[in-house]
Amino acid sequence: MNRWLAWGVLIFGVLYFILPLYGMAEFSLSMRRGVYSFDAYTKVLTDPTFQQTFSYSVMMAVFTIIFGVLLVVPTAYWVRLKMPEARPFVEFITLLPLVIPAIVIVFGYIRLYNTSSWLPLTGSVTGTNLLLMFGYATLSLPYMYRAVDTGLRTIDVATLTEAAQSLGASWATILARIILPNVLVAVLSGAFVTFAIVIGEFTMAALLDRPAFGPYMQLLGANRAYEPAALAVIAFAITWACMGLIQLVSRFSKHTKAQR
Amino acid sequence: MPLKWLGMAPFALFTFLFLLLPTLYIVVGAFRTPLGEFTFQNILDLNTPSIRSAYWVSIKVSVLSALFGCLIGFGMAAAVTLGSLPKWLRNPLMTFSGVASNFAGVPLAFAFIATLGPAGLITIWLRKEFGINVRAYGWNLLSTWGLIITYLFFQIPLMILIIAPALDGLKREWREAAAMLGATGGQYWRMVALPILFPSLLGTFALLFANAFGAVATAIALTGPSLNIAPILLYAQIRGDVLGSPNLGYALAFGMIVITGIANAVYIWLRARSERWLK
């Protein structure tokens, strides 16, 4: 490829990516006329609604991760160990959330689990929170499952299981003390992707009417000028941190593998 | 039933209740009258000017953002993998792509409003420095093209992430063999590289299409309810039954599943084909 063309394409692309990021950073600092200041950030960070919605979303992310790990790790382990024939089906199902738009899934939730249904989850606050967490777990399923499954591929599941069983370990012990520590890096990278997804998710939270960070950002965007830019910078920093942590833990895992 | 199926029970139960059943409910509802009888009327009722235009604008935005995403992403990936650029550029680009492809939704809309919106960085700069009022030239961020330019921010990185490994799979020998037989660079690309890459390119195009088609948050944060595209119409329908018929709402959602389903089927089929070459 022509060297000048290559540089041209790259510089064009980099400009396209840098300018919006620069634009939002600049805008977020320009609340005070004429000088750069952190006013927009102070405004946002001291807003009680920000604190409430942000901690709500962090809590939801944590619960989603715990639930996702409890659901995915045993399943992926079981498929590898006992049911390789079920693999194509399980993989297909875990890819479905990428095919069916989130708005359609949550539409189904609202109609299926409303107050007059057999499982009236939307009838109470706890129930709706639970439903939202299930929704988030569904959204993150493709990423979580593939991360864990890739992690399981690098260890000898059958041998580890037999060794543990011959020492008298129960299934719960095997999963919690043998399998999970061995795929911890994979679980962590799945967890960070889940965190990044949940923290900014808008559609499900808005339609289930929960006070999450995504709908708060949207509401602020419709009513304010500078604060949304500050929120965008914060959200970008969170995404960057999550992806950075994934790189960090996977580098850490390569290191431990090399020592073996 | 053998006991080992029991190990799949939690997963099966969860995905049935919170993924398959809700989707099925929508699909079945699309073919039902309010009284529960079977009908095609809901699907036929989708053929109104407003719903048709919502789907049409959605498809247009998705096709164009996928197309430009593919072209620019391919160019950038090719520049760092095949072009004679310094090697150290590759890793930062891939890391950045991983972040940017996940930077979607509401904050992305804010970033573009702050840059290309009425009071955005570039808009103001062009007006101050060059006296160009982009609005006078018809530019409006809250439009189809504004949406496309915004969507490219996650489309291009996704393309880079998927296509870079495929470009790595192009063997040096193929290029050398072609050159030995007297092929020019253009001929090599037209007759060797592109036919090999074609399934991955088209497959990624389908994936990007589905990706843009289902995006709700970015569009709502960018344009509010003003732009008539399928996901925003569905959002309004769920919120307040704007179509005046719940079953028509199911049909609208069913149409979205069909479109993203076809796009993904194309992607899966073509990826299986492309993997035959790139190993």
The model's pLDDT over B73-87, given as tens digits with 9 standing for 90+, comes to 999 998 888 766 787
Residue B114 and residue A90: Cβ atoms within 8 Å? no
Q: What would the mean pLDDT of A105-113 be, rounded to a whole number?
A: 92
CB distance from B239 to chain A under 8 Å?
A: yes
Confidence of residue A255 (pLDDT cuts 50, 70, 90): low
- Residue A61 covered by a domain: yes
Q: What is the pLDDT of residue A259?
A: 47
Q: Does residue A256 carry a pLDDT above 60? A: no
B57 touches chain A (CB under 8 A): no
**For residue B213, which residues of chain A lie inside 8 Å, CB to CB?**
101
CA geometry: angle A110, B9, B268, nearest 5 deg: 70
**Partner residue facing A231 (CB), from B5, B107, B185:** B107
- Structural domain count of chain A: 1
| Number of domains composing chain B | 1
The closest CB to that of A97, out of B19, B185, B220, belongs to: B19
Is B190 inside a domain boundary? yes
Q: Identify whether A12 is part of a domain.
A: no
Q: Of A40-49, B1-10, B88-97, B135-144, give the range with the top mean pLDDT.
A: A40-49
User: A29-38 contacts: CB < 8 A, separation 24 or more?
Assistant: A30/A226, A31/A226
| pLDDT value, residue A117 | 82
* pLDDT of res. A258: 47
Strand partners, B32: B38
Which chain B residues touch A90 with a CB distance below 8 Å?
8, 11
* Interface touch A232/B261, C-beta < 8 Å: no
pLDDT > 90? residue A106: yes
Residue B152 belongs to some domain of the structure: yes
Say if A5 falls within a structural domain: no
Binary contact (A98, B106; C-beta < 8 A): no
- Domain holding A144: CATH number? 1.10.3720.10
Which residues, in sequence order, are CB contacts of A117 under 8 Å at separation 6+?
Answer: none
Q: Note whether residue B181 is domain-resident.
A: yes
Q: What is the model's pTM?
A: 0.88
The SS3 call for residue A108 is helix
CB contact under 8 A, A207 and B121: no
CB B18 within 8 A of CB A109: yes
CA B194 to chain centre: 22
Give the separation between CA A52 and CA A56, rounded to whole angstroms: 6
| Side chain identity, residue B37 | E
Q: Provide the CATH number for the domain around residue B191.
A: 1.10.3720.10
The answer to whether position B32 is within a domain reads no
pLDDT of residue A71: 95
Residue A227, in any domain of the structure:
yes
**CB atoms B96 and A17 under 8 Å:** yes
ipTM score of complex: 0.88
- What type of residue sits at position B140? N
Q: Is residue A75 part of a domain?
A: yes
B120 belongs to a structural domain: no
pLDDT band at A260 (very low <50, low <70, confident <90, very high): very low
- Average pLDDT (B158-179) is 87
Residue B139 covered by a domain? no
Residue A99 lies in a domain: yes
Residue A166 falls inside a structural domain: yes
Is residue B3 predicted with pLDDT exceeding 80? no
* Helix B106-116 vs helix B144-168: crossing angle, to nearest 10: 110
By C-alpha distance, which of B222, B153, B63, B18 is closest to A100?
Answer: B18
Q: B239 pLDDT exceeds 60?
A: yes
CA dihedral B16, B21, B27, B30 (to 10 degrees): 180
Tell me, yes or no, whether B185 lies in a domain.
Answer: yes
Give me the torsion for CA of B150, B155, B158, B164, rounded to 10°.
Answer: -120
Measured in angstroms, the CA of B49 and the nearest CA of chain A are apart by 22
Which of A191-195, B15-19, B100-104 is least confident?
A: B100-104
Pair of tokens at residue B79? 């520049």
Distance from CA of A71 to the nearest CA of B (A): 6
A164 touches B at CB < 8 Å:
no
Print the domain residue range for A228: 43-259
Residue B159's nearest CA partner among B65, B70, B64, B275 is B70
**Residue A177 DSSP symbol:** I
Give pLDDT, residue B80: 86
SS3 call for A199: helix
pLDDT of residue A67: 96
- The interface residues of chain A toward chain B in range 188-217, judged by CB-CB distance below 8 A, are 193, 196-197, 200-203, 207, 214, 217
Task: Look at residue B247 and tell me if it is in a domain.
Answer: yes
In angstroms, what separates the C-alpha of B225 from chain A's closest C-alpha? 11
Domain that holds residue B249: 37-104+145-275
What pLDDT is attached to residue A202? 92
- Whether chain B has a CB inside 8 Å of the CB on A177: the answer is no
Average pLDDT value for chain B? 86
Question: Which of B249-252's residues contact partners 24+ apart within 8 Å by CB, and which partners?
Answer: B249/A107, B250/B26, B250/B27, B250/B29, B250/B30, B250/B32, B250/B42, B251/B30, B251/B42, B251/B43, B251/B45, B251/B46, B252/B46, B252/B51
Answer yes or no: is pLDDT of B97 > 70: yes
Chain B hits for A246, Cβ within 8 Å: 98
Q: What is the pLDDT of residue B22?
A: 94
Measured between alpha carbons, how far is B3 from B17 in angstroms, rounded to an integer? 22
Is A104 in CB contact (< 8 Å) with chain B?
A: yes
The Cα–Cα gap between B277 and B146 comes to: 38
Question: For the residues B232-246, what does the mean pLDDT come to?
Answer: 85
Q: Which among B61, B47, B25 has a CA at the least distance from the CA of B210? A: B61
* Residue A11, domain member (yes or no): no
> Cβ separation of A101 and B257 shorter than 8 Å?
yes
